[in-house]
Structure 1
Amino acid sequence: MFDILMYLFENYIHSEAEVMVDHDVLTDELTRAGFHQDEIYKALSWLEKLANLQNTDAYNFLTKRPQQSVRIYTPQETRFLDTECRGFLIFLENVNVLDFATREMVIDRVLELDTKDFNIDDLKWVVLMVLFNVPGKESAYSQMEDLIFDECEGPLH
């Protein structure tokens, strides 16, 4: 499913292609690209749920919270988000790429991926997808793009 999300993000969303594509046309294209139909439906549902997260009471509550609290991860969350991923989320909050609400959206979407091999690179793409879909987060999205695509290779000295 994550491969489908990456395919859609790179070919439609990130490339600024026409986003309003008919589900049947998109499903046919993804099938021709070699993806299985059940995984296609899961990926499309994942994207639909991402769009709907902004309309929930929980999202509205989180956007009004004070910015001084500590996030405690559940055992289920720590199975998906290892120490490196959780540290990266804290870093993103500290540099104001993520706020409480978008962090929770990222965690929610990670848990819905249904994958066992989730790593920090996957997390970065999920963060990009979430930020792209939240109105008013264009600057945060741009910062996240810079963090991903302008990473330095080797030591920083």
Structure 2
Amino acid sequence: MFDVLVYLYETYWRPDACPDHAQLTRKLSAVGFESDEIQEALSWLEGLAEGAASYQGQQGALSLRVYSEAELDHLGEPSVGFISFLESAGVLPPPMREMVIDRGMAIPGAPMDLEDLKIIVLMVFWSRGEEPDALILDELFVAPEDRLIH
């Protein structure tokens, strides 16, 4: 599923640039993705689109997020730490944080792999038509051991 999401991110600037569901399914199949992988990714994206409006304006800038035990178990400490890092850096506002948590909880298996969570963060930005700044893209895609220290 994550390969499909990355392909969509790389191929389409924003969700509204994607073709309709049937045509997109055909295009993804033609590229070589399996049918079940395509359907899982498109279903996940529908959940992202449905949830986007529900998180707007629910939390103020000074609100504190307390994770439930189920969220901590499912997301895992590295993923929760990464979400907190992005939030404290000022690049992941509360509504987007909630979208990331919601979509992370929609992924089967626990604990979630940090690399998968990074793709979810990227897709949340993509779903809102926003491009993360260069430092965030670096954090999302460059392994810490591959970073050059200047």
Shorter-chain TM-score range = 0.7 to 0.9
Give the distance between the partners of 2:72 and 2:111, measured in 1 at CA: 13
**CA contact under 8 A between 2:48 and 2:103: conserved in structure 1?**
yes
Aligned to 1:61: 57
| Paired letter, 2:56 | N
Displacement, 1:127? 0.7
What do you get for the CA RMSD once the two structures are aligned?
A: 2.8
Q: What's the TM-score, normalizing by structure 2?
A: 0.79
Aligned to 1:119: 113
**CA contact under 8 A between 1:2 and 1:113: conserved in structure 2?**
no
Give the distance between the partners of 2:84 and 2:33, measured in 1 at CA: 34
Aligned to 1:82: 76
4+ long deviations beyond 4 Å = 149-152, 154-157
Q: 5+ unaligned residues in a row in structure 1: which ranges?
A: none
- Identity across the alignment (%): 39
Aligned to 1:23: 21
Displacement, 1:131? 1.3
How far does the alpha carbon of each residue in 1:40-86 deviate from its partner, in whole angstroms, 9 at most, with x for none? 22211221221232322xx1232xx3222332222332233111111
Number of paired residues?
148
User: Structure 1 residues 33, 116: CA separation in 2 closer, same or farther (over 3 Å shift)?
Assistant: farther
Given the alignment, which residue of 112, 121, 126 partners 1:132?
126
Displacement, 1:99? 1.1
Give the distance between the partners of 2:143 and 2:93, measured in 1 at CA: 22
Displacement, 1:148? 2.8
Give the distance between the partners of 1:114 and 1:29, measured in 2 at CA: 26
With a CA cutoff of 8 Å and minimum separation of 6, indicate the structure with the bigger relative contact order: 2
How far does the alpha carbon of each residue in 1:4-44 deviate from its partner, in whole angstroms, 9 at most, with x for none? 2222222334xx7x823132222123223443323322211
Aligned to 1:2: 2
SS of equivalent to 1:68: coil
**CA contact under 8 A between 1:128 and 1:144: conserved in structure 2?**
no
Displacement, 1:133? 1.7
| Paired letter, 1:30 | L
SS of equivalent to 2:60: coil
Given the alignment, which residue of 87, 92, 95 partners 2:89?
95
